[in-house]
Amino acid sequence: MSMRHVFPGVYRSGSEIATLNSTPGYRVYGEKVFKDKNKEYRIWDPFRSKVAAAILKGLKDFPVTPDSNVLYLGASSGTTASHIADVTSGQVYCVEFSSTMMRDLMLVCDRKKNMVPILGDARHPWEYDSLVAKADVLIQDVAQPDQASILSSNAEYYGIKKALLSIKARSINSIKSPKEVFEEELKKISEKFKIMQKLDLMPYDEDHMLVNLEAKSV
Ligand SMILES: C[S@@+](CC[C@H](N)C(=O)[O-])C[C@H]1O[C@@H](n2cnc3c(N)ncnc32)[C@H](O)[C@@H]1O
Protein backbone atom coordinates (compact mmCIF):
# COMPACT_ATOMS: atom_id res chain seq x y z
CA MET A 1 0.00 0.00 0.00
CA SER A 2 1.56 3.36 -0.98
CA MET A 3 1.10 6.05 1.66
CA ARG A 4 1.37 9.79 1.39
CA HIS A 5 1.08 12.52 3.99
CA VAL A 6 -2.12 14.54 4.05
CA PHE A 7 -1.12 16.38 7.23
CA PRO A 8 1.68 15.63 9.69
CA GLY A 9 0.61 12.35 11.31
CA VAL A 10 -2.25 11.73 8.86
CA TYR A 11 -1.67 9.49 5.85
CA ARG A 12 -3.65 8.70 2.76
CA SER A 13 -3.72 5.72 0.48
CA GLY A 14 -6.28 5.86 -2.29
CA SER A 15 -9.62 6.77 -0.77
CA GLU A 16 -8.61 5.87 2.78
CA ILE A 17 -6.88 7.85 5.49
CA ALA A 18 -4.98 6.43 8.43
CA THR A 19 -2.94 7.33 11.48
CA LEU A 20 0.27 5.66 12.62
CA ASN A 21 -0.78 3.46 15.53
CA SER A 22 0.93 4.73 18.69
CA THR A 23 0.00 1.42 20.36
CA PRO A 24 0.78 -1.27 17.75
CA GLY A 25 -1.39 -4.37 18.13
CA TYR A 26 -4.15 -2.42 19.87
CA ARG A 27 -7.34 -1.43 18.03
CA VAL A 28 -10.02 0.85 19.49
CA TYR A 29 -13.27 0.33 17.56
CA GLY A 30 -12.64 -2.63 15.29
CA GLU A 31 -10.91 -0.43 12.71
CA LYS A 32 -8.84 -2.01 9.96
CA VAL A 33 -5.07 -1.92 10.43
CA PHE A 34 -2.24 -2.54 8.00
CA LYS A 35 1.53 -2.66 8.08
CA ASP A 36 3.89 -0.74 5.85
CA LYS A 37 7.69 -0.84 6.32
CA ASN A 38 7.25 -2.40 9.77
CA LYS A 39 4.90 0.34 10.94
CA GLU A 40 1.27 -0.24 11.85
CA TYR A 41 -1.42 2.13 10.61
CA ARG A 42 -5.06 2.39 11.73
CA ILE A 43 -7.60 3.22 9.03
CA TRP A 44 -9.57 6.27 10.19
CA ASP A 45 -13.22 5.56 9.38
CA PRO A 46 -15.09 8.65 8.05
CA PHE A 47 -18.43 7.03 8.83
CA ARG A 48 -17.40 6.82 12.51
CA SER A 49 -15.47 10.09 12.84
CA LYS A 50 -16.48 13.57 11.69
CA VAL A 51 -12.87 14.74 11.69
CA ALA A 52 -11.95 11.93 9.30
CA ALA A 53 -14.98 12.80 7.16
CA ALA A 54 -13.88 16.45 7.06
CA ILE A 55 -10.34 15.48 5.99
CA LEU A 56 -11.73 13.36 3.16
CA LYS A 57 -14.12 16.19 2.20
CA GLY A 58 -11.16 18.55 1.69
CA LEU A 59 -10.17 20.11 5.02
CA LYS A 60 -7.37 22.50 4.04
CA ASP A 61 -5.72 23.08 7.39
CA PHE A 62 -5.60 20.52 10.20
CA PRO A 63 -4.91 22.36 13.46
CA VAL A 64 -3.54 19.32 15.32
CA THR A 65 0.25 19.07 14.96
CA PRO A 66 2.57 16.33 16.27
CA ASP A 67 3.07 18.21 19.55
CA SER A 68 -0.35 19.84 20.10
CA ASN A 69 -2.19 19.52 23.38
CA VAL A 70 -5.85 19.02 22.54
CA LEU A 71 -9.00 19.64 24.55
CA TYR A 72 -11.60 17.23 23.14
CA LEU A 73 -15.19 17.94 24.23
CA GLY A 74 -17.64 15.07 23.71
CA ALA A 75 -15.05 12.29 23.49
CA SER A 76 -17.64 9.51 23.79
CA SER A 77 -15.87 6.14 23.77
CA GLY A 78 -12.74 7.62 22.19
CA THR A 79 -13.09 6.74 18.49
CA THR A 80 -11.89 10.07 17.08
CA ALA A 81 -9.87 11.06 20.15
CA SER A 82 -7.78 7.88 19.75
CA HIS A 83 -6.74 8.93 16.22
CA ILE A 84 -5.93 12.42 17.49
CA ALA A 85 -3.78 10.71 20.15
CA ASP A 86 -1.92 8.91 17.33
CA VAL A 87 -1.24 12.21 15.55
CA THR A 88 0.15 14.11 18.53
CA SER A 89 2.51 13.12 21.26
CA GLY A 90 0.96 15.92 23.36
CA GLN A 91 -1.91 15.35 25.75
CA VAL A 92 -5.47 14.75 24.52
CA TYR A 93 -7.85 15.82 27.29
CA CYS A 94 -11.06 13.85 26.71
CA VAL A 95 -14.12 15.42 28.33
CA GLU A 96 -17.27 13.28 28.42
CA PHE A 97 -20.31 13.58 30.67
CA SER A 98 -21.88 10.15 30.19
CA SER A 99 -20.59 7.65 32.73
CA THR A 100 -21.54 4.81 30.37
CA MET A 101 -19.31 6.23 27.62
CA MET A 102 -16.62 7.00 30.18
CA ARG A 103 -16.32 3.32 31.07
CA ASP A 104 -15.34 2.49 27.47
CA LEU A 105 -13.22 5.62 27.16
CA MET A 106 -11.21 4.65 30.26
CA LEU A 107 -10.22 1.37 28.60
CA VAL A 108 -8.82 3.29 25.62
CA CYS A 109 -7.06 5.86 27.84
CA ASP A 110 -5.49 2.99 29.74
CA ARG A 111 -3.70 1.94 26.53
CA LYS A 112 -3.15 5.30 24.82
CA LYS A 113 -1.17 7.01 27.54
CA ASN A 114 -1.49 10.54 26.15
CA MET A 115 -5.31 10.43 26.45
CA VAL A 116 -6.61 11.86 29.72
CA PRO A 117 -10.18 10.84 30.63
CA ILE A 118 -12.25 13.58 32.25
CA LEU A 119 -15.77 12.88 33.47
CA GLY A 120 -17.29 16.34 33.32
CA ASP A 121 -19.78 18.69 31.73
CA ALA A 122 -18.28 20.78 28.92
CA ARG A 123 -20.62 23.62 29.98
CA HIS A 124 -18.43 24.09 33.06
CA PRO A 125 -14.81 24.46 31.88
CA TRP A 126 -13.62 25.52 35.36
CA GLU A 127 -14.57 22.08 36.73
CA TYR A 128 -11.72 20.34 34.90
CA ASP A 129 -8.98 22.96 34.98
CA SER A 130 -6.98 21.01 37.56
CA LEU A 131 -6.60 18.24 34.95
CA VAL A 132 -5.87 20.36 31.86
CA ALA A 133 -2.31 21.70 31.99
CA LYS A 134 -2.35 23.48 28.62
CA ALA A 135 -4.43 23.21 25.46
CA ASP A 136 -3.60 24.51 21.98
CA VAL A 137 -6.52 23.09 19.99
CA LEU A 138 -10.17 22.52 20.83
CA ILE A 139 -12.18 19.76 19.15
CA GLN A 140 -15.87 19.79 19.99
CA ASP A 141 -18.51 17.24 19.11
CA VAL A 142 -21.16 17.45 21.83
CA ALA A 143 -24.33 17.62 19.68
CA GLN A 144 -26.03 20.11 22.02
CA PRO A 145 -28.27 23.11 21.27
CA ASP A 146 -25.92 25.41 23.24
CA GLN A 147 -22.77 24.23 21.46
CA ALA A 148 -21.76 27.77 20.39
CA SER A 149 -21.66 28.91 24.01
CA ILE A 150 -19.82 25.72 25.10
CA LEU A 151 -17.22 26.42 22.40
CA SER A 152 -16.59 30.04 23.33
CA SER A 153 -16.56 29.47 27.10
CA ASN A 154 -13.92 26.71 26.78
CA ALA A 155 -11.83 28.60 24.23
CA GLU A 156 -11.84 31.69 26.44
CA TYR A 157 -11.20 29.82 29.68
CA TYR A 158 -8.22 27.88 28.30
CA GLY A 159 -6.98 30.59 25.89
CA ILE A 160 -7.36 28.30 22.86
CA LYS A 161 -7.09 29.92 19.43
CA LYS A 162 -7.82 27.01 17.05
CA ALA A 163 -10.89 24.80 17.00
CA LEU A 164 -12.72 22.19 14.98
CA LEU A 165 -16.44 22.22 15.70
CA SER A 166 -18.94 19.64 14.58
CA ILE A 167 -22.47 20.99 14.18
CA LYS A 168 -25.38 18.58 14.10
CA ALA A 169 -28.39 20.50 12.77
CA ARG A 170 -30.99 18.20 14.31
CA SER A 171 -29.58 18.55 17.84
CA ILE A 172 -30.16 22.28 17.64
CA ASN A 173 -33.54 22.43 15.96
CA SER A 174 -35.37 19.53 14.37
CA ILE A 175 -38.08 21.73 12.82
CA LYS A 176 -36.00 24.31 10.91
CA SER A 177 -34.12 23.24 7.79
CA PRO A 178 -30.47 22.25 8.37
CA LYS A 179 -29.42 25.16 6.11
CA GLU A 180 -31.23 27.66 8.34
CA VAL A 181 -29.78 26.08 11.51
CA PHE A 182 -26.23 26.17 10.11
CA GLU A 183 -26.60 29.85 9.14
CA GLU A 184 -27.82 30.78 12.61
CA GLU A 185 -25.05 28.83 14.34
CA LEU A 186 -22.34 30.27 12.10
CA LYS A 187 -23.61 33.77 12.85
CA LYS A 188 -23.32 33.12 16.62
CA ILE A 189 -19.88 31.54 16.28
CA SER A 190 -18.55 34.33 14.06
CA GLU A 191 -18.92 36.84 16.90
CA LYS A 192 -15.78 35.36 18.47
CA PHE A 193 -14.22 33.18 15.74
CA LYS A 194 -13.06 33.56 12.17
CA ILE A 195 -14.59 30.81 10.07
CA MET A 196 -11.63 29.43 8.13
CA GLN A 197 -13.56 26.65 6.39
CA LYS A 198 -16.92 24.92 6.65
CA LEU A 199 -17.51 21.44 5.34
CA ASP A 200 -20.72 19.58 4.72
CA LEU A 201 -20.04 15.99 5.80
CA MET A 202 -22.31 14.21 3.31
CA PRO A 203 -22.19 11.33 2.39
CA TYR A 204 -20.52 10.33 5.67
CA ASP A 205 -22.90 12.17 8.02
CA GLU A 206 -26.26 13.62 7.11
CA ASP A 207 -27.07 17.19 8.26
CA HIS A 208 -23.67 17.66 9.86
CA MET A 209 -21.14 20.38 9.27
CA LEU A 210 -17.56 20.60 10.48
CA VAL A 211 -16.14 24.08 10.90
CA ASN A 212 -12.48 25.04 11.19
CA LEU A 213 -12.17 28.10 13.41
CA GLU A 214 -9.64 30.60 14.68
CA ALA A 215 -10.38 32.84 17.65
CA LYS A 216 -10.56 36.54 16.78
CA SER A 217 -8.92 37.38 20.09
CA VAL A 218 -8.46 35.53 23.38
C1 LIG B 1 -21.60 12.51 18.79
S2 LIG B 1 -20.93 11.92 20.26
C3 LIG B 1 -19.20 12.18 20.08
C4 LIG B 1 -18.49 11.19 19.19
C5 LIG B 1 -16.98 11.38 19.27
N6 LIG B 1 -16.62 12.76 19.11
C7 LIG B 1 -16.23 10.57 18.24
O8 LIG B 1 -16.10 10.99 17.10
O9 LIG B 1 -15.71 9.52 18.61
C10 LIG B 1 -21.32 13.20 21.38
C11 LIG B 1 -20.82 12.95 22.80
O12 LIG B 1 -20.88 14.17 23.53
C13 LIG B 1 -21.23 13.89 24.86
N14 LIG B 1 -21.73 15.12 25.46
C15 LIG B 1 -22.88 15.77 25.14
N16 LIG B 1 -23.01 16.89 25.89
C17 LIG B 1 -21.91 16.96 26.67
C18 LIG B 1 -21.46 17.89 27.65
N19 LIG B 1 -22.18 18.97 27.96
N20 LIG B 1 -20.29 17.66 28.27
C21 LIG B 1 -19.55 16.56 27.95
N22 LIG B 1 -19.92 15.64 27.04
C23 LIG B 1 -21.08 15.84 26.40
C24 LIG B 1 -22.27 12.77 24.72
O25 LIG B 1 -22.42 12.04 25.94
C26 LIG B 1 -21.69 11.94 23.57
O27 LIG B 1 -20.89 10.89 24.04
Q: In angstroms, what is the span from residue 76 Cα to ligand 1's centroid?
A: 5
Q: What percent of the chain lies above the pLDDT cut of 70?
A: 99
Q: What is the mean pLDDT of residues 137-154?
A: 95
Q: In angstroms, what is the span from residue 141 Cα to ligand 1's centroid?
A: 6
Atom of ligand 1 nearest to the CA of 95: 21
Asked if residue 92 belongs to a domain, the reply is: yes
Whether the Cβ atoms of residue 218 and residue 161 lie closer than 8 Å to each other: yes
Asked if residue 76 belongs to a domain, the reply is: yes
Average pLDDT, the chain: 94
Q: Which domain holds residue 53?
A: 45-215
Whether the Cβ atoms of residue 75 and residue 102 lie closer than 8 Å to each other: no
Q: In angstroms, what is the span from residue 212 Cα to ligand 1's centroid?
A: 18
172 confidence band (pLDDT: 50, 70, 90): confident
Q: In angstroms, what is the span from residue 51 Cα to ligand 1's centroid?
A: 14
Q: Which of 33-47, 165-179, 182-196 has the lowest mean pLDDT?
A: 165-179
Q: What is the mean pLDDT of residues 162-168?
A: 95
ω before 203 within 30° of 0 (cis)? Answer: yes
Write the CATH number for 153: 3.40.50.150
Asked if residue 111 belongs to a domain, the reply is: yes
Residue 181 has pLDDT above 80, yes or no: yes
Q: How far apart are the first and last CA of the chain?
A: 43
User: How many domains does the chain divide into?
Assistant: 1
Going from the C-alpha of 58 to that of each of 132, 201, 203, 210, 215, the distances in angstroms are 31, 10, 13, 11, 21
Helix or strand run (H / E) with residue 107: helix 99-111
Alpha carbon nearest to ligand 1 atom 23, residue: 74
Alpha carbon nearest to ligand 1 atom 7, residue: 80
Asked if residue 161 belongs to a domain, the reply is: yes
1 confidence band (pLDDT: 50, 70, 90): low
Asked if residue 119 belongs to a domain, the reply is: yes
Q: In angstroms, what is the span from residue 26 Cα to ligand 1's centroid?
A: 23
Q: What is the pTM of this model?
A: 0.96
Q: In angstroms, what is the span from residue 98 Cα to ligand 1's centroid?
A: 8
Site to probe by mutation for ligand 1, drawn from 127, 142, 147, 207 as the one with most ligand atoms within 8 Å of Cβ, is: 142
Whether the Cβ atoms of residue 126 and residue 154 lie closer than 8 Å to each other: no
Q: What is the mean pLDDT of residues 196-208?
A: 94
pLDDT at 168: 85
Ligand 1 interacting residues, C-beta cut-off 6 A: 49, 73-74, 76, 79-80, 95-98, 101, 121-123, 141-144
Asked if residue 78 belongs to a domain, the reply is: yes
Q: What is residue 75's three-state secondary structure?
A: coil
Atom of ligand 1 nearest to the CA of 48: 8
